[in-house]
Amino acid sequence: MLGTQGLLRIAADTELAADIRNCRRLEVHGSLDGDVMAEDVIVHEGGRVSGRLRTNSLEIKGLIEGDVVVRNLITIRKSGIVMGDVRYGRMLLEPGGELTAKVKNVPPELAGDFSITVRRGQHVVVTTEDIDAIDPDNTADELTYTVSNIRGGHIALDGARDAAVTTFTQADLMHSKVLFVHDGGPERSCRFDVVVHDAQGASSGKPRTVDVSVTNSAAAA
């Protein structure tokens, strides 16, 4: 076993039972059992990983079995074998590679500061700094937000500010088309909840609340 500047290499003659954290790159020629979190993982031919694995990218030439989450690309080479539960962003399976796992794509994640400021009775553009969707295997047009529990205003699309909508896409956000329109009421804060789904129907989970601060100042944005 060798570790150098974030690289951990498990040699072919090594059998290791351990949990691994904060590893930049993990290369497995031998055997590893444990709970692993690493940026990139390669399981070489003759290598074996068993347990729970979380990584950005995974290349498999040997055997892996267990609970696997690959945020971006999982590559299964012709000598690779994968068994267990696998969630992934994108997959490349070479002819000869063996996949006997229960698989599903990684659901989208919500990000952002979930905070907006609007001038009383006016509108503000909702940006990707306010809310954002992260999903490596879907385009912006394929990520759809659903809005609920709106208080103190409504969501609209640019060009139709008076028409309330309950859905919009990541592409709408990226092109500055999504607006929060304040209803002019006396409250100092408003809110709405959002959840995002991808093209396969996977959800970001429990809705997140976006807090809206209301100001009388012309400097609000």
Please report the domains of the chain, with CATH numbers, ordered by start residue: 2-105 (no CATH), 109-215 (2.60.40.10)
pLDDT tier at 219, thresholds 50, 70, 90: very low
Q: Per-residue pLDDT averaged across 163-183, rounded?
A: 96
CA distance 145 to 142: 10
Which pLDDT score, from 0 to 100, does residue 218 have?
52
Euclidean distance between CA atoms 43 and 61, whole angstroms: 6
Provide the pairing of β-strand 144-151 with 153-157: unpaired
Q: State which H helix or E strand residue 169 sits in.
A: strand 167-169
Residue 116: partners with Cβ closer than 8 Å, 6 or more residues away:
124, 126, 130, 180, 210, 211, 212, 213
d(CA 123, CA 221): 9
Over the stretch 21-74, which tens digit does the pLDDT of each residue have? Answer: 888 999 999 999 999 999 999 999 999 999 999 998 999 999 999 988 887 888
Q: What is the pLDDT of residue 78?
A: 92
Which residue in this structure is represented by tokens 């309330």? 164
How would residue 1 be classed by pLDDT, with cut points 50, 70 and 90? low
Which tokens hold the place of 62?
């040997």
Task: Say if residue 89's pLDDT is above 90.
Answer: no
